[in-house]
Amino acid sequence: MTIFEKIIEREIPAYIVYEDDDVISFLDISQATKGHTLVVPKKAYKNIYEMPQDLLAKVIVVTQKVSKAVDLAFQPEGLNILNNTNEIAGQTVFHFHIHIIPRYTKNDVGFKFENHMNDLSSDEFKQRAAIIKKNLL
Ligand code: 5GP
């Protein structure tokens, strides 16, 4: 049983902000920023690869709903909507979930994208796109 299933089953407490038959949303205990919230399907799937499409769609719709509520509640400058897939990417709870992380200042969360655009030829871009396209299921 994942820690989130324990929250869903009310075996451990959480600050729940939304719940329906399929999806639940509650404050992330770490509160990386004020209002940091998780959106979680009630049925546990390990990661996005395993998620049934209809449930994934429901999770995204709830993510929008809760994001709007967080925006109204705390008036951040913006927010990051984030999923960590697998340990290498920072996943620690292996029950698919989406983070809503309100942003108040540029440096309140550390996550840096390097721009490698100038290291790549247009052929390399083409190849990368082509191999992804080939693998669309
Ligand atoms: P991940 O690292 O897997 O993307 O995110 C897992 C998140 O779950 C972390 O941000 C962590 O703070 C949060 N978390 C872990 N245990 C609990 C808990 O017992 N209650 C709540 N509300 N959040 C938790």
Q: Alpha helices, DSSP H only, in 16-121?
A: 53-74
Query: 126 in helix, strand or coil?
Result: helix
Band (112; pLDDT cuts 50, 70, 90): confident
Tokens of 16: 């729940």
pLDDT band at 111 (very low <50, low <70, confident <90, very high): confident
**5 ligand 1 Cβ < 6 A:** no
For the Cβ of 3 lying below 6 angstroms from any atom of ligand 1, the answer is: yes
Report all structural domains of the chain as residue ranges with CATH numbers, in order of start.
Answer: 3-108 (3.30.428.10)
Q: Compute, in angstroms, the gap from residue 38 CA to the centroid of ligand 1.
A: 8
Whether 99 sits among the annotated catalytic residues: the reply is no
* Residue bearing the CA closest to ligand 1, atom 12: 30
pLDDT, mean of residues 121-125: 98
Q: What does the pLDDT look like over 49-104, one tens digit per residue?
A: 999 999 999 999 999 999 999 999 999 999 999 999 999 999 999 999 999 999 99
Nearest-CA residue for ligand 1 atom 13 is: 28
